[in-house]
Structure 1
Amino acid sequence: MALSKGLAGVIADQTRISSTHNAILSYAGYPINELKDAPFEEIVYLLWHGQLPSRDELAAFRFELVSQMALPYETVQLMARIAREPQHPMSILRTTVSLPGTTNDVKRDEPPRILGKMLAAIAAIIRIRNDQPIKHAHRQWGVVENFIYLFSGKRPTASEVKMLNTVMILHADHEFNASTFTARVVASTQSDYYSCLTAAVCALKGPLHGGANEQVFHMLETIHHNHQDPVEFVNQRLAAGDKIMGFGHRVYKNGDPRAVILREIAKTLARDTDNMAYFDLQEQISQVMAEKTHLHPNVDYYTALIYHCFNLDAETFTPMFAACRTAGWLAHIIEQQARGCLIRPSSEYVGQTNRHYPTGKEENAID
């Protein structure tokens, strides 16, 4: 069999959840451009059930999700201790995700309840790290409005809800990406939801996956605060063989369709929050990258500025990614567990062969 580095181009399995065929992202057959303004809850329902909900189903589903946006007292107490540790928030989230898996009601923790807990937990990590009190969801609000309130402490405007709603939809799923495939591998063993999600969080933490958005903003900060020429900065990094985070994609060779949508949101938020200096930097960097490398911005590039405009610290950008992607992770866990097939690929051994352990020699004897 031909070896494909990083499994690039390898079809590992089939899925009904999402597709990037012909570089067009779609969820259950619907192109993302047609879904970007739908309610987030409707897209979660679509990913989990393969079809859009009726009006009554959507209302009931929204109420169920919002009702679960709370954490058990014991979990909050433990989080209050670990979230203040000088560790990256993704390390805190990794431990937090596994905590509910130790409770006695794990068998009752179905996807709606788990998604609600994940959103509440990520918001709580942000609040605790900022020495702010944990907020509680309002059942008459939607999921996105509540999520913003839970991590910011302020009721968002309709415009803010609309924009983050789109961000969360665009990040909800992306077929067999690294963290999703990790979750599916664990799910194939018929392990529980929390084990699958913990593994997915571990994969998302890496700078080549979810951590890229954090690195993008660190780059923007470095250029901005040091008053550097962005063109010169990029040229120097490229000459040194360094990677410019937020550009290129294994699937989208001619540009990430999500980035096109996110660019407009980043521009609007930057204008409304007095952050146009960062957006202007992004425009200059994007132009020189296109000229020098023919690489285009990916989903992480503009998301970094968007999260900054929501007054979030760069270290919390990847947990925010996890908040969005949990919906897709759960969809893939459900699908994989229903398959009942263990994921166990083969490998090609390239080490030494025909070696034999020496026997009968004095130096191998045990006194």
Structure 2
Amino acid sequence: MKLPKGLAGVVVDQTKVSSTKNAVLTYAGYPIKELKDASFEEVVFLLWHTRLPSSDELTAFRKRLVSEMVLPDHTVQLIARIAKEPQHPMSILRTTVSLLGTTNDVKRDDPPRILAKMLTAIAAIIRIRDGKPIEQANQNWGVVKNFVYLFSGEQPTAERVKMFNTVMVLHADHEFNASTFTARVVASTKSDDYSCLTAAVCALKGPLHGGANERVFEMLEAIRETGQDPVGYVNEQMARGRKIMGFGHRIYKDGDPRAVILRVIAQKISQETGNDEYFALQEQIREYMFKKTHLHPNVDYYTALIYHCFNLDKKTFTMMFAACRTAGWLAHVIEQQTEGCLIRPSSEYVGETNRHYPNKEG
């Protein structure tokens, strides 16, 4: 039996969390284009419970998440030590997630506490690496406003909160992508939640998955710094057999619906922050790539510029992806653990056969 490369299109299990059927992204049945203005807390609740919360439930859920956006002192001390290491931030995060599961002040974390700790830890890593003090969450703010404040040290405007909220919602889940499937495999063994998240972070680190956003901005920087014509740059890279990051998607052949929404945000925030030159480069590349290859931008393409406009170092872009995707990872971990079935596929052996170990006696 010949399988599609990378198991593309192969259905391996069922889920109620999200779907990309017919190239339409939905969360528990709700189209992403309708959820783009929903609060992040609403979307997290939806992913975890497969229904929208009532007004009272949302208020209580938001309050619970924000109340947990604090780390034990000894956890902060250990993160402060490893965050200063020269490794890539995703390597720091990989170790930090495992650390969160071993340095605790309660017997067992539940999903709300885990998500809150992940957001707080990621913000702490950014602050420590920038040589700045760790901030404290404001109990009167929502999750997104607090998160932006925790990693930036500045109280964001309502407009910026709305922008980042949309970014977090669009990145919250995407059915059985590489990192999510990795988390589900670990969850199927009945391992703990932090082991599942650590494995997911390892998968997300790769440039063909979450790491693509960093490569997108590296491309934009290279073009701007050298003054090279963007079309010439793209042609040169493709002539060398290099992939142009931020384009194409296995599922969305006619365009990633998330990229359509993010493009509007990227254009607006780039103008407001004096980064419109980068957006202009993106537009030239987008138009040429479609003409040359018929490929559309994916979720990473405009996210890279948006993160830059929030004054984030490009090396932290994939960590931000992890901050958003933790909600979806946990939703799938919950679902997989409830299912209670070990994921153990078989393989087709295509190596040598009928070989025998030489008899060395005599």
Q: With the length of structure 1 as denominator, give the TM-score of the two structures.
A: 0.97
What residue is the counterpart of 1:54 in the other structure?
54
Q: State whether structure 2 residue 213 is matched by structure 1 residue 213.
A: yes
Q: Could you tell me how far 1:106 is from its partner in structure 2? A: 6.4
Task: Work out whether residues 100 and 106 of structure 1, in 8 Å CA contact, stay in contact via their aligned partners in 2.
Answer: no
Pair 254,110 (structure 1): closer, same or farther in 2 beyond 3 Å: same
Q: Does 1:153 align with 2:150?
A: no
Which residue does 1:203 correspond to in 2?
203
Q: What is the CA distance between 1:324 and its match in structure 2?
A: 0.2
Correspondence for 1:365: none
CA distance in 2 between counterparts of 1:219 and 1:103 reads: 39
2:322 corresponds to: 322
Q: Within the alignment, does 1:88 sit opposite 2:88 as a pair?
A: yes
Matched, 1:141 2:141: yes
Over the residues paired in the alignment, what is the CA RMSD in angstroms?
A: 0.9
Equivalent residue, structure 1, for 2:12: 12
Q: Distance in 1 between matches of 2:97 and 2:345?
A: 27
Aligned pair in 2 of structure 1 residues 216, 60: CA closer, same or farther (>3 Å)? same
Query: 1:96 & 1:59 partners in 2: Cα distance?
Result: 30
**What is the SS of the residue equivalent to 1:161?**
helix
Which whole-Å deviations, capped at 9, do the CAs of 1:16-68 have from their partners, x for residues lacking one?
Answer: 00000111100000000110001110000000001000000000000000011
Distance 2:85 2:252 in 1: 38
The match for 1:285 is 285
1:239 shift after superposition = 1.8
Match of 1:248 in 2: 248
SS in 2 for 1:102: coil
Change (3 A) 1:106 1:12: farther
Residue type at the aligned position of 2:128: I
**TM-score, scaled to structure 2:** 0.99
Equivalent residue of 1:250, what SS? Answer: coil
Corresponding position of 2:357? 357
Q: 2: distance between equivalents of 1:360 and 1:120?
A: 61
Q: Distance in 1 between matches of 2:313 and 2:22?
A: 35
The equivalent of 2:340 in structure 1 is 340
Question: Offset of 1:69 from its aligned partner?
Answer: 0.7
- 1:4: Cα distance to partner? 1.9
Instruction: Structure 2 unaligned segments of length 5 or more: list them.
Output: none
Q: CA deviation at 1:150?
A: 0.1
Secondary structure class of the residue paired with 2:138: coil
Q: In the TM superposition, what whole-angstrom CA distance separates every residue of 1:91-138 from its partner, at most 9, and x where no partner exists? A: 000000001211365652000000000000000000000000000100
8 Å Cα contact 1:266-1:302 kept in structure 2: yes
User: 2:132: which partner in 1?
Assistant: 132
Classify 1:258/1:141 alpha carbon distance in 2 versus 1 (closer, same or farther; 3 Å). same
Residue 72 of structure 1: CA displacement?
Answer: 1.1
Alpha-carbon distance in structure 1 between the residues aligned to 2:246 and 2:148 = 24
SS class of match (2:34): helix
TM-superposed CA distance for 1:240, in Å, is 1.8
1:154-185 Cα deviation digits (max 9, x unpaired): 00000000000000000000000000000000
Query: Which string of whole-angstrom CA distances, capped at 9 and with x for unpartnered residues, describes residues 228-280 of structure 1?
Result: 10011111111222110000000001100000000000000000000000000
CA contact (8 A) 2:72 2:104 kept: no
- Give the whole-Å Cα distance in 2 for the aligned partners of 1:297 and 1:190: 37
Q: CA deviation at 1:75?
A: 1.0
Partner SS for 1:360: coil
Distance in structure 1 (CA, Å) of the matches to 2:107 and 2:14? 27
> Once the two structures are superposed, what CA deviation does each residue of 1:193-230 show, in whole Å capped at 9, x if it has no partner?
00000000000000000000000000000000110100
Which residue does the alignment assign to 1:276? 276
Q: Secondary structure at the match of 1:359?
A: coil
Cα distance between partner residues in 2 of 1:175 and 1:225: 38
Shift of 1:359: 1.9
The 8 Å contact of residues 246 and 298 in structure 1, kept in 2 or not, is answered as yes
| Residues 221 and 73 of structure 1: CA distance in aligned 2, closer, same or farther (over 3 Å) | same
Aligned to 2:169: 169
In structure 2, distance between residues paired with 1:219 and 1:2: 37
Which deviations, in whole Å up to 9, do the C-alpha atoms of 1:270-318 show, x marking residues without a partner?
0000000000000000011001100000000000000000000000000
Task: Return the alpha-carbon distance in structure 2 between the equivalents of residues 230 and 356 of structure 1.
Answer: 57
Q: Distance in 2 between matches of 1:346 and 1:107?
A: 37
CA distance in 2, matches of 1:265, 1:20: 23
Post-superposition Cα deviations, 1:3-25, rounded to whole Å, max 9, x if no partner, equal 12101010010000000011110
The Cα shift of 1:360 comes to: 3.3
Distance 1:238 1:263 in 2: 24
Q: Could you tell me which runs of 5 or more consecutive residues in structure 1 were left unpaired when the two chains were aligned.
A: 363-367
In structure 2, distance between residues paired with 1:210 and 1:104:
28
User: How many pairs align?
Assistant: 362
Paired AA for residue 261 in structure 2:
I
Amino acid at match of 1:359: N
In 2, the alpha carbon distance for the partners of 1:107 and 1:356 equals 53
Separation in 2, partners of 1:157, 1:56:
26
